[in-house]
Structure 1
Amino acid sequence: MSKLLEVKDLKMHFPVRGGVTLKKMGAVKAVDGVSFFVRPGETLGLVGESGCGKSTLGKCLVRLYEPTSGNIVLESADISELSQKNLRPLRRDIQMMFQDPAESLNSRFSVRQIVREPLDIQKIGTKAERNAKVDELLKKVGLPASAADKFPDEFSGGQRQRIGVARSIALNPKMLVLDEPVSALDVSVQSQVLNLLVDLQKEMNIAYLFIAHDLAVVKHISDRVAVMYLGKIVELADSETIYKNPRHAYTKALLSAIPHADPDYVSKRIRLGGEVPSPIDPPKGSAFGHRINHPCYEETIGMEMPLVEITPEHWVAADPCSLSEEDWEKAKDIVK
């Protein structure tokens, strides 16, 4: 199947400045060489601990941040270095939905103004046609037409997130970047919003990059899953493979933390020692090996640890600190 979005070696380094002259002292390597692709109509889940760079990556894709280097190819257009003027027409194809609906919606705008804004910016149709489109969008996300003339503060968190959904699909995008879209909602409301997103995807054939830290939610909605650690993707495979047969030690630890409904289930929680390394001064070798003080860490200093296809469509970082002996031997041979 063709690729809708392809990201190649993307980096986002934020300068750290200090002193009287604000001289550059270093950089926060929030995203540090990430590559992946998304197919039309599929959902790629992106998971990892807080601070691993998930949200920064999402904002780079829609150019809210200017990437330090790398390529973002949307269909045949490389959008990573386009000017804002040249990027504007392509914004119809890739939109973003944010985590907190209370902060992402302008409280001084009515719902009609909020949902209509993308249509106004892109100058689509007449004002009457745009207003009619707003009513149609609100109906599509499960809100009454009367909601259009109210303000965000008059709605619950779940309803505000539905307004955010309506705004994000107003231009009929080919892809949505969803930055933890249900984490700020009550559990009962989360399932409603997730089901809405699934229904819209089927109806409109939208591709999703679904950013989350809740692996149970990601399992429910994703076709493939990418696991991110300290600015890098360390494992990527289809959802069933990731959850049934994880190969990277970090992925195994994350999955072991998923709660089980069965009260008789005996937890096999993998508890990681150490601290997550700083993205300002990341380890010179395996970041995960450094965290757990792995005996192989010293031999990884200066080593390239690219993603390798350990089994068909299952990619994992070639890291001796994070793989079984069998997988490391296989990954080592592939790198050679």
Structure 2
Amino acid sequence: MSLLTVQNLQQHFPVRGGLLRRSVASCKAVDGVSFSLEEGETLGLVGESGCGKTTLGKAIVRLLKPTSGSIHFEGKDITTAGIGALRPMRRYMQMIFQDPAESLNPRHTVRDILEEPFIVQKLGTKDERRKWVAELLDKVGLSAASADRFPFEFSGGQRQRIGIARAIALKPKLIICDEPVSALDVSVQSQVLNLLLDLQREMGLSYLFIAHGLSVVKHMSDRVAVMYLGKIVELAPAEELYRQPRHAYTRALLDAIPEPDPTKRRKRLLLQGDVPSPINPPPGCAFGHRMKHPLWEKSVGMDLSLKEVSPGHWVQPCPCCT
């Protein structure tokens, strides 16, 4: 049994207009996403800004209530679970947010921030919680003296370490990493990524690792899912996806990875046009429509559900992108 199973998940937001602010349309942020995640595995989720990655992560941990579809965690359906049913399960599902400066309460000390999960779950005495906070800070490479300081007194990388400490406080099984290094300096990114890998090995964590580009994801992931306009267009083992991408959008993302050798030249697949609106997505293949591909019209009316083209390698069967 998989740790996490997502089936045909949709997260639509009403678009309101007119004098009475009635719903006039829907923004299809996540539009029929399915995947599974095993214990101890890292699934990378990549795509451009606005494709629905963060919304998907928030829906999985039930910070958002899905419009339709299902989410099963350890075999239990949590799609429509209420607050009372979710509270004990939240110990095992946590999230690391993109901007540590905004995800940490500036009025609370680090001790207050790290003790809060234990207080909410009614775990430990005051002395036990102080001991646990010191242990958490040590795990993420911060001194015990940091507990009595405020978030603004730390650098961006240190603040993200505090966010990571909060996420692992209750010994979770699944952590949604929502672009955890994109707001950090390049020199600090590798330190934080290596910390996440060390914690995964030590604690047996599973990660859904959300990122913009495929370069960071390659370092972290066992499998990679590529998302475009609310849908997964390709899902494969990381090595195979980098070696043999099947979807045109995946190839475009790989071509966008900077070449470290300035003297080396290579042919790139340049993205044309604008990303279609999730409020009014085009019929058929959205990426083919964007690229004005001559075979796009053939995709209209087709079943574009992911198809397995090799063991563990799934791709959207579109005539203009595969």
Deviations along 1:139-172, one digit per CA (max 9) or x if unpaired, are 0000000000000010000000000000000000
* 1:245 aligned residue: 244
* 1:294 aligned residue: 293
CA contact (8 A) 2:8 2:70 kept: yes
Structure 2: 5+ residue stretches without partners: none
* 1:333 aligned residue: none
* 1:209 aligned residue: 208
Name whichever of 262-271 and 73-82 sits farther off.
262-271
CA–CA distance in structure 2, aligned partners of residues 94 and 112 of structure 1: 21
- Supply the AA of the counterpart residue of 2:314: W
Name whichever of 206-215 and 294-303 sits farther off.
294-303
- Supply the AA of the counterpart residue of 2:275: V
Q: How far did residue 267 of structure 1 move?
A: 2.4
Q: How far did residue 228 of structure 1 move?
A: 0.1
SS of the residue 1:8 aligns to: strand
CA contact (8 A) 2:97 2:178 kept: yes
Deviations along 1:247-298, one digit per CA (max 9) or x if unpaired, are 0000000000101212332122210111111000000111011101111222
- Supply the AA of the counterpart residue of 1:99: Q
* 1:312 aligned residue: 311
Deviations along 1:80-123, one digit per CA (max 9) or x if unpaired, are 10001111000011100000000000000000010111111001
Name whichever of 258-267 and 248-257 sits farther off.
258-267
CA–CA distance in structure 2, aligned partners of residues 285 and 215 of structure 1: 25
CA–CA distance in structure 2, aligned partners of residues 106 and 183 of structure 1: 20
- Supply the AA of the counterpart residue of 1:85: G
1:225 aligns to 2:237 (yes or no) = no
Aligned pairs for 1:151-190 (under 5 A) are 151-190=150-189
* 1:117 aligned residue: 116
Deviations along 1:16-67, one digit per CA (max 9) or x if unpaired, are 0101111111000000000001110110000000000000000001111111
* 1:22 aligned residue: 21
Structure 1: 5+ residue stretches without partners: 324-336
* 2:39 aligned residue: 40
* 2:194 aligned residue: 195
Q: Normalized against structure 1, the TM-score is what?
A: 0.95
CA–CA distance in structure 2, aligned partners of residues 288 and 214 of structure 1: 17
SS of the residue 2:130 aligns to: helix
Q: How far did residue 302 of structure 1 move?
A: 2.2
CA contact (8 A) 2:99 2:180 kept: yes
Deviations along 1:159-196, one digit per CA (max 9) or x if unpaired, are 00000000000000001000000000000100100000
- Supply the AA of the counterpart residue of 1:300: S
- Supply the AA of the counterpart residue of 1:116: E
Q: How far did residue 301 of structure 1 move?
A: 1.8
Q: Normalized against structure 2, the TM-score is what?
A: 0.99
Aligned pairs for 1:11-160 (under 5 A) are 11-160=10-159
SS of the residue 2:318 aligns to: coil
* 1:328 aligned residue: none
CA contact (8 A) 2:39 2:204 kept: yes
CA–CA distance in structure 1, aligned partners of residues 265 and 235 of structure 2: 28
SS of the residue 1:298 aligns to: helix
CA–CA distance in structure 2, aligned partners of residues 27 and 179 of structure 1: 24
SS of the residue 1:235 aligns to: strand
SS of the residue 2:277 aligns to: coil
CA contact (8 A) 2:213 2:253 kept: no
Q: Say how many residue pairs are matched.
A: 322
CA–CA distance in structure 1, aligned partners of residues 303 and 218 of structure 2: 30
- Kindly, what percent of the aligned residue pairs are identical? 64
Q: How far did residue 320 of structure 1 move?
A: 0.9
CA–CA distance in structure 2, aligned partners of residues 268 and 158 of structure 1: 36
Q: How far did residue 214 of structure 1 move?
A: 2.6
CA–CA distance in structure 1, aligned partners of residues 255 and 46 of structure 2: 14
Aligned pairs for 1:262-281 (under 5 A) are 262-281=261-280
SS of the residue 2:55 aligns to: helix
